Amino acid sequence: MEEKNNQYEYHVPVMLQECLDGLDIHPDGIYVDLTFGGGGHAREMFKLLSEKGKLIVFDQDADAKKNAWTAPNFHFVASNFSFLKNQLRMLGISKVDGILADLGVSSHQFNEPERGFSIRSDEKLDMRMNQRSGASAYDVVNEYSEEQIMTMVGKYGEVKSPRRIAQAITLKRQAAPIATTGQLIAVLEPIAPKFKENKFYAQVFQAIRIEVNDEMNVLERMLEQTAEVLKPGGRLVVMSYHSLEDRLVKNYIKSGSFDGKVEKDFFGNVLKPFKGITRKPTVADEEELERNSRARSAKLRVAERNEGE
């Protein structure tokens, strides 16, 4: 495996050791990193594998492929992780020993201004994880109705004034399209809460990003497939960065459903594919927070695949 001196510049891996501990890696096993990014987690996973072990990594972002390396037991899959089961089948793999998903937007994506993820720059509104397909943030901001924008920022941004945001956006775009991140910030500035402006902007940007990438539906499809491809006793490790994601992950691990309702069979046995290894989510310690502020909102959950569900 080729080493890179700047391997963590692309994305500093959050709670790296906690993720490796959660996966409980067996050297000859088959493991999947669903969010390869800069390869920070994946490189350390790969080091723990023997030549018999395999690592399959997923990333739909074309930039991420530059961080891949060449090895007989390493496979880069240029795909959204919602196609997990089909992509593994194409590699001749039906069951795996462990799956990692780090749901955060990579440092690289935030730091590349032209991607339009960051509130710190003035670049075109894009926010697509896969820049080759789908509607961009520009399309959402300029084409959605006032009601659609209000619903989106209320649901995915969890802001207190979704209608005011929707009204401000639809009013401004009547004169000219809102084309850049800076122009969107300028629209939001008059209604941003005093001393909490950046958090407010980040919440609105988060809502648009989730909508553009259909993140909640994609996450649900991925979680359901992890239950199908993990061997009994296999580990699922998921790191989420906002309450919407964490709620889905928590509910699915706890109850086997996304709304948190427990299903039972005829005999009263609870039907759920996973059991939680950690009762509460793991969070980064103070030392890591000093090194990497993006770890502040991260919540790590670990689950084990039940027998025969």
Which CATH class for the 119-213 domain? mainly alpha
160-166 LR contacts (CB < 8 Å, sep 24+): 161/191, 164/191, 165/191, 165/204
Q: Tell me the mean pLDDT in the region 4-8.
A: 43
Model pLDDT for residues 281-290, shown as the tens digit of each residue: 999 999 998 8
Q: How far apart are CA 146 and CA 163, in angstroms?
A: 8
Model pLDDT for residues 236-252, shown as the tens digit of each residue: 999 999 899 999 999 99
Q: Does domain 16-107+215-305 have CATH number 1.10.3720.10?
A: no
Do residues 125 and 180 touch, judged by C-beta distance below 8 A?
yes
Instruction: Find the helix or strand (DSSP H, E) in which 208 lies.
Output: helix 197-213
Q: Give the per-residue pLDDT at 122.
A: 79
Partners of 276 in the β-ladder: 303
Indicate if the pLDDT at residue 128 is higher than 50: yes
Q: Is 124 helix (H, G, I), strand (E, B) or coil?
A: strand
40 annotated ligand-binding residue: yes
Task: Please say whether the dihedral angle defined by the alpha carbons of residues 297, 155, 82 and 117, taken in this order, is positive or negative.
Answer: negative
Q: Tell me the mean pLDDT in the region 277-284.
A: 91
Indicate if the pLDDT at residue 152 is higher than 50: yes
59 annotated ligand-binding residue: yes
Q: Give the per-residue pLDDT at 192.
A: 95
Kindly state the tokens that stand for 172: 């401004």
Indicate if the pLDDT at residue 120 is higher than 90: no
**What is the band of 267 on the pLDDT scale with cuts at 50, 70, 90?**
confident
Tokens 């020993």 belong to which residue?
97
Do residues 36 and 67 touch, judged by C-beta distance below 8 A?
yes
Between the CA of residue 277 and those of 14, 31, 234, what are the distances in Å? 19, 18, 11
Q: CB within 8 A of 268, min separation 6: which ones?
A: none
**pTM to 2 decimals?**
0.86
81 annotated ligand-binding residue: yes
78, 8, 76, 74: which is closest to 40 by C-alpha?
8
11 annotated ligand-binding residue: no
Kindly state the tokens that stand for 118: 């960051």
Indicate if the pLDDT at residue 6 is higher than 80: no
Indicate if the pLDDT at residue 100 is higher than 60: yes
41 annotated ligand-binding residue: yes
Q: How far apart are CA 226 and CA 55, in angstroms?
A: 15
Do residues 144 and 156 touch, judged by C-beta distance below 8 A?
no
Furthest CA-CA distance within the chain: 63
Q: Tell me the mean pLDDT in the region 256-281.
A: 88
Q: Give the per-residue pLDDT at 56.
A: 98
109 annotated ligand-binding residue: yes
Q: Is 210 helix (H, G, I), strand (E, B) or coil?
A: helix
**What is the band of 129 on the pLDDT scale with cuts at 50, 70, 90?**
confident
DSSP class of residue 214 equals: T
Instruction: Spell out the domain ranges in the chain.
Output: 16-107+215-305, 119-213
Instruction: Find the helix or strand (DSSP H, E) in which 58 lies.
Output: strand 54-58
The gap from C-alpha 34 to its chain's centroid, in whole angstroms, comes to 9
Do residues 136 and 126 touch, judged by C-beta distance below 8 A?
yes
Q: CB within 8 A of 121, min separation 6: which ones?
A: 113, 181, 182
Indicate if the pLDDT at residue 308 is higher than 80: no
Q: How far apart are CA 111 and CA 10, in angstroms?
A: 9
Kindly state the tokens that stand for 154: 């209320």
Pairing of strands 74-77, 54-58: parallel
Q: Determine phi and psi for 154, rounding to 5 degrees.
A: -70, -45
Indicate if the pLDDT at residue 216 is higher than 70: yes
Indicate if the pLDDT at residue 257 is higher than 70: yes
